[in-house]
Structure 1
Amino acid sequence: MRSRRHAIAISALAVTLIAAPLTACGTDSDGESASSSTVSTTPLNPFEQQRYDGVTALLDQLSATLSSGDRAGLAELIDDAAPAEFRRRMEAIAADFAGPDEPIKGSGPLKLKEFRYRVAPQNGPEHLLDETFVAQLEDAGASDTWVSPVYLNYALGGASSPGLDEPTVTLNESLTFARYGDDWKVVGEGGLAPDPTPETVLQSNPKAPEMGPWEFPGLAATDVSTSGGTSTVLFYRGSQKAATTASRILPASVNDVTKFWGEDWVRKAAVISTATDEQFAGLTRTEPGTTSAAAAATVFAMVDKQNKQVIGQRIVLTPAARSLPAASLAVVLRHELVHVAARLVTAENVPLWLTEGVPEYVGRKGTYREFVDAAPELAAAVAAGDVPKALPSDGSFSVTSDDARLAYQSAWSFAAFVADAFGEGKLKDMYVNVAKGGDTATTEAAIKDALGVDKAKVVSDWQAWLTKQAR
């Protein structure tokens, strides 16, 4: 079974007495809606087959040309009528794969394990170009035009080949093509043709486009040996320092997460260090500027439960992460790596006090001396007699909420309490049990099954522990 969705967990920066961030993650699932139309299985007629074969040959050429960084060869595949913006986009992608004009020590251009465009099934009514634009193409010698959905199948690789060994990621695009004699050229994106889908449907399913890291200029890669195999750290011009630090601390961070979680996870990762808000927003499908206080995010495209693998999982560092010292960045990486490790066993309807508290516990472990260092707002509240009456609700974790910092600190403290009172093994057991999802009764039963006591007792003991810690 494949569950296709796009999720993000955002780690927010927070200043503490030891200058390390108390990471704060929010989770947002953006599931893809199933189409109400069906994909035709009717055999192609000779005209359609010829069109399909011609465009497939063009896409094979385009894939090889882009991934090899052949900027000169690219010009032969793009129609003269292509919009300047589309042409610049294609040229920028080729330039990224060619590598920077001035090589950066210890890194190189991204060498993809796989990069291939292919024609996707037509789902719904065909998009047709404006008659005026078609006439313009015909005047230039075009005998046919076609707007078709395409798949871009890729796997990252790294600075060297094979680099990171990851399952294939599929991005969905739409492109416009024109035929000249026996050859086809790319005219631009599918948006050149009006979308016949009713406007009400489009508005009810807003989505930012999926994109690969090559969509932004100045991309470079470096490989890191981690316990599960080769990891890769990608970065853009201006974010090299954070990438260098991340590369240095990534192996130990993976090992630290393994000490808690065990070896039943990939024990490697793809990390992308961004230099601009636009890069971070594009790679995480968020609005620019909405995560200005964030340090990192984890994203993924699909969970393949049948093959027990997560597809397209990335840790994306924000531009703000560039200012973090190594110790603080290590907290962020450990936190995000717990999300990577736990993704396969984490359902979508799991309470955030669990999915953020446990990663925060692992991320922060060993970085503070006193309770107040790790949770200053919570310590102050408890000392003033305002002990949390319950575990924080999901709504209190919103990064725009005034209660967010207190919610994250409370979640961390509950995980820290469970580890202190029952042991880290039981903390992981509680995560795995509760992470299966379910209603309130199911969650309470999962806690009791893991810890041997009911939720009310655990929460009561946590409250007493907080009072003692905050003295």
Structure 2
Amino acid sequence: MAGRRRTRGSGVPGRCLLLVPLLLSLLVSLVGCGGGRPGTDSARADVQRVLDRRAAAVLGHDASAYAATGTAAGYAAVRAVPLAAWSYRVTAVHRDGGSDSATADAELSYRVDGYDKAPVTTARVLGLARGGAGRWSVTSEKPAKKTGEQLWDQGTVSAVRGAHSLVLGVGQSGARLRSFADLADDAVPAVSAAWGTDWAGHVVVLVPKSLEGMAALLGSPASSYRGIAAVTTGETGGGARTPADRVIVNPDAYGMLGRVGRQVVLTHETTHVATRAHTNAATPLWLSEGYADWVGYRDTGRTPAEAAPELQHAVTAGDVPAALPTDADFGFAGDANRLASAYEGGWLACRMIAERWDEAKLDAFYRAVGEHRERAGAVEDALTNVLATSLSQFTTDWQQYLRSQLA
């Protein structure tokens, strides 16, 4: 233990000998009997003060104050993002011996003004250098290992506001970002008309430059999202203090869609934002994805044959699915035909409920499943209590519905 030694011949262990010169030397750096890590703690406090000033500069739109804390790189990238909060919490400082360089682990918390009900928190690693006056400054900032990037890590962010949306993009023209805002502004009222208004009623859309940028935001390989037009991030079953979801677009796949397809995708993803508080481990993907597709296609006039080509091919070949799609069928990295059939099967199951029972029953069924909080018995109980049917009978009815709509 720092600051303690055993005295020969005294028979008294662990005595503090405060007058020994060597011990005094130790006390200068380790502060007294009883130990501790004040040197490290001092550096951590100093770094925290620097990051506090850096955060205040971001919120205050003060480029000079930001540059005074170290590298100015990053300020311009985040400048257009409307922020209600931005702060760092230093969790560790790592110094290389007596070097004047170090790294700091920190949590960055921020809120997008008007959209996030609670802070979004992400782990960051900051490079540090200590100048001649002994002051620390920031030399770099990046995501921690196994942590997704933030949009501003990929370049300067541009922002476009819609009536019900905020679109943030990197490497995109203002006209293209405006087109996403227009789609999102149409999606929000369409979702509210189907689901109700007990949700935020707005959406944040992130448009990176490429598929690789999308994957970096999600912290996953690009191969996992090839051909996927968009995904929604967020905490399932989130309460009132859950941060807003983000709809993240794959611009490569999105650019291959027609106008109706683009609208269906944005409405689908916005549905996930609206239903998030009622979606949890109890909700099978055939229901959450099928419901989102049902809302997406609801006002398009698309027929099952037009919207479910993969499943139609199977049904006309006499290969009617034996069961509703499993969660495994929705794996992005799996077989593309299997994935398409899973989405189509979930959509047609929800479409059948809306037609045979009514749209209000479909909404009630979705919410009833989510009330369970765990998978076992959730669908079965909701089928019994809301639709007055069983899982086996529902599956049989769904199979017959597939034949009637697709054969």
Structure of greater Rg: 2
Structure 1 pair 303/55, CA: closer, same or farther in 2 (3 Å)? farther
Once residues 43 and 314 of structure 1 are traced to their aligned partners in structure 2, the CA distance between those partners, rounded to angstroms, is 47
- Shift of residue 336, structure 1, vs aligned partner: 0.6
Q: Paired residue for 2:377, among 436, 441, 446? A: 441
Aligned with residue 88 of structure 2, among 117, 121, 128: 117
The one-letter amino acid paired with 2:349 is: F
Match of 1:268 in 2: 202
Aligned to 1:154, what secondary structure does the other structure show? strand
1:170, distance to aligned residue in structure 2 (A): 1.4
The one-letter code matched in structure 1 to 2:152 is W
Distance 1:190-1:272 versus aligned 2 partners, 3 A rule: closer
| Residue number among 347, 365, 380 corresponding to 2:313 in the alignment | 380
Opposite residue 83 of structure 2, the aligned amino acid is L
- Report the CA distance between 1:71 and its aligned residue: 5.8
Q: Which has the higher contact order (CA 8 A, sep 6+)?
A: 1
Say whether residues 1:418 and 2:369 are aligned partners. no
Distance 2:145 2:50 in 1: 28
Question: Does structure 1 residue 343 correspond to structure 2 residue 276?
Answer: yes
Deviations 1:365-406 (A, max 9, x none): 132343211112212322332222210122222232241111
Match of 2:246 among 311, 314, 330: 314
Matched, 1:398 2:334: no
- Deviation string 1:326-349 (CA, Å, 9 cap, x unpaired) is 322110111111111111121135
User: Does structure 2 conserve the Cα–Cα contact (< 8 Å) formed by 1:151 and 1:171?
Assistant: yes
CA distance in 1, matches of 2:175, 2:247: 16
CA contact (8 A) 1:147 1:190 kept: no
Question: How much does 1:302 deviate?
Answer: 8.0
- Please, what TM-score do these two structures have when normalized by structure 1? 0.70
Segment drifting more, 171-180 vs 385-394: 171-180
Could you tell me which amino acid in structure 1 is paired with residue 209 of structure 2?
A
Once the two structures are TM-superposed, the CA of residue 424 in structure 1 deviates from its matched residue by: 1.0
Between the aligned partners of 1:288 and 1:296, the Cα distance in structure 2 is 13
Conserved 8 A contact 2:160-2:174: no
Q: Is 2:187 the partner of 1:284?
A: no
Equivalent residue, structure 2, for 1:32: none
Partners of 1:454 and 1:43 in 2: how far apart?
67
Where does 1:362-377 land on structure 2 (aligned, <5 Å)? 362-377=295-310
Moved more, 447-456 or 409-418: 447-456
Give 1:300's match in structure 2, choosing from 234, 256, 259: 234
The match for 2:8 is none
Does residue 1:149 correspond to 2:105, yes or no?
A: yes
Residue 429 of structure 1 corresponds to 364
Q: Is the 8 A contact 1:234 1:243 kept in 2?
A: yes
| Residue in structure 1 matching 2:137, options 148, 163, 185 | 185
Superposed, 1:1-40 pairs within 5 Å as none
* Paired residue secondary structure (2:242): strand
CA distance, structure 2, for counterparts of residue 389 and residue 50 of structure 1: 65
Indicate if the aligned counterparts of 2:168 and 2:206 stay in contact, CA closer than 8 A.
Answer: yes
| Contact residue 284 and residue 297 of structure 1 kept, 8 A | no
Does the residue aligned with 2:364 lie in a helix, a strand or coil? helix
| Residues 394 and 59 of structure 1, relative CA distance in 2, 3 Å threshold | same
Of the three residues 290, 294, 306, the one matched with 1:357 is: 290
For 2:156 and 2:398, how far apart are their aligned partners in 1?
49
Secondary structure of the corresponding residue to residue 234 of structure 1:
strand
CA contact (8 A) 1:245 1:326 kept: no
Task: Name the SS of the counterpart of 1:170 in structure 2.
Answer: strand
- Give the C-alpha shift of residue 287 in structure 1: 0.9
User: For 1:461 and 1:155, how far apart are their aligned partners in 2?
Assistant: 46
Structure 1: stretches of 5+ with no match in the other structure: 1-41, 79-86, 99-108, 138-144, 158-162, 192-205
State the alpha-carbon separation in 2 of the partners of residues 43 and 318 from structure 1.
53
The offset of 1:437, in angstroms, is 4.2
**Counterpart of 1:94?**
75
How big is the shift at 1:179? 4.2
Q: CA deviation at 1:417?
A: 0.6
Closer/same/farther in 2, CA of residues 450 and 64 from structure 1, 3 Å limit: same
Kept in 1, the 8 Å contact 2:159–2:166? The answer is yes
Q: Does 1:167 find its partner at 2:118?
A: yes
2-side partners of 1:394 and 1:448: how far apart?
22
1:338 and 1:182 map into 2 onto residues whose CA distance is: 53
Residue number in structure 1 paired with 2:183: 249
TM-score w.r.t. structure 2 length? 0.81
Quick one: structure 1 residues 289 and 70, their matched pair in 2 at CA, closer, same or farther if it must change by over 3 Å? farther
Change (3 A) 1:302 1:363: closer
Indicate the residue corresponding to 2:25 in structure 1.
none
Separation in 2 of the partners of 1:249 and 1:241? 13
Distance in 2 (CA, whole Å) between partners of 1:446 and 1:340 is: 22
1:459 paired with 2:395, answer: yes
Amino acid of the structure 2 residue aligned with 1:367: T
1:469 aligns with 2:402: no
Amino acid at match of 1:433: A
Distance 2:398 2:142 in 1: 56
Deviation at 1:187, TM superposition (A): 4.5
SS of 1:294's equivalent in the other structure is coil
Question: What is the alpha-carbon root mean square deviation over aligned residues?
Answer: 3.0
State the AA in 1 paired with 2:322.
K
